A = this chain, B = another copy of it.
Amino acid sequence: MKAAIIGGTGYGSIELVRLINKHPYLEIGSVVSNSQAGVNFSDVYPHLSDVVVQPLETFNANRLSEENDIVFLATPSGVSSKLVPQLLEKRIKCIDLSGDFRLRSSEEYENWYKHSSPEEMYLKQAVYGLSEIYKEEIRQSTLIANPGCYPTATNLGLLPILKSKLADEKSIIIDAKSGVSGAGRGLSLTSHYSEINENTKAYKLGKHQHIPEIEQVLSDESGNPITVTFTTHLVPMTRGIMCTMYVNLKEKISTQKIIDLYKQFYQESHFIRVRPEGNIPATKEVMGSNFCDIGLHVDERTNRLTVISVIDNLVKGAAGQAIQNANLMNGWDDQTGLTDLPIYP
- Taking Cβ atoms with an 8 Å cutoff, the residues of A that contact B are 11, 14, 17-18, 21-22, 45-48, 50-51, 170, 173, 175, 177, 179-181, 185, 187-189, 191-203, 205-206, 227-229, 231, 233, 235-240, 242, 244, 246, 273, 275-276, 279-288, 291, 293, 295, 297, 299-302, 304, 306, 308, 310, 339-345
Contact = CB atoms under 8 A, between A and B. Distances in A.
A275 to B, nearest CB: 6
A194 B185 contact: yes
A193 to B, nearest CB: 4
A222 to B, nearest CB: 16
Contacts of A306: 205-206, 229, 231
A21 B175 CA distance: 34
A288 B287 CA distance: 11
A236 B234 CA distance: 11
A299 B229 contact: yes
Nearest to A242: B200
Contact of A280 (B202, B284, B302): B202
B238 A177 contact: no
Contacts of A231: 244, 306
A246 B233 contact: no
A187 B187 contact: yes
Contact of A198 (B17, B18, B239, B301): B239
A24 to B, nearest CB: 11
A243 B235 CA distance: 13
A194 B227 contact: no
A202 B295 contact: yes
Given A194-B345, A236-B236, A340-B22, A46 B283 contact: no
26 contacts: A11-B194, A18-B344, A22-B341, A45-B285, A45-B344, A47-B293, A177-B177, A180-B194, A181-B345, A185-B194, A187-B187, A194-B238, A197-B236, A198-B239, A198-B240, A199-B284, A200-B237, A201-B283, A202-B242, A202-B308, A206-B297, A206-B306, A229-B299, A233-B244, A235-B237, A343-B343
Contacts of A200: 177, 235, 237, 240, 242, 282-283, 310
A7 B11 CA distance: 33
Contact of A46 (B48, B203, B242, B285): B285
B202 A238 contact: no
A198 B195 CA distance: 14
A235 B238 contact: no
Contact of A302 (B188, B198, B227, B291): B227
Given A47-B281, A198-B238, A231-B244, 13 more contacts: A18-B342, A22-B339, A46-B285, A47-B291, A170-B302, A175-B175, A193-B196, A198-B198, A200-B240, A202-B282, A228-B302, A239-B345, A288-B343
B284 A51 contact: no
A327 B317 CA distance: 34
A301 B206 contact: yes
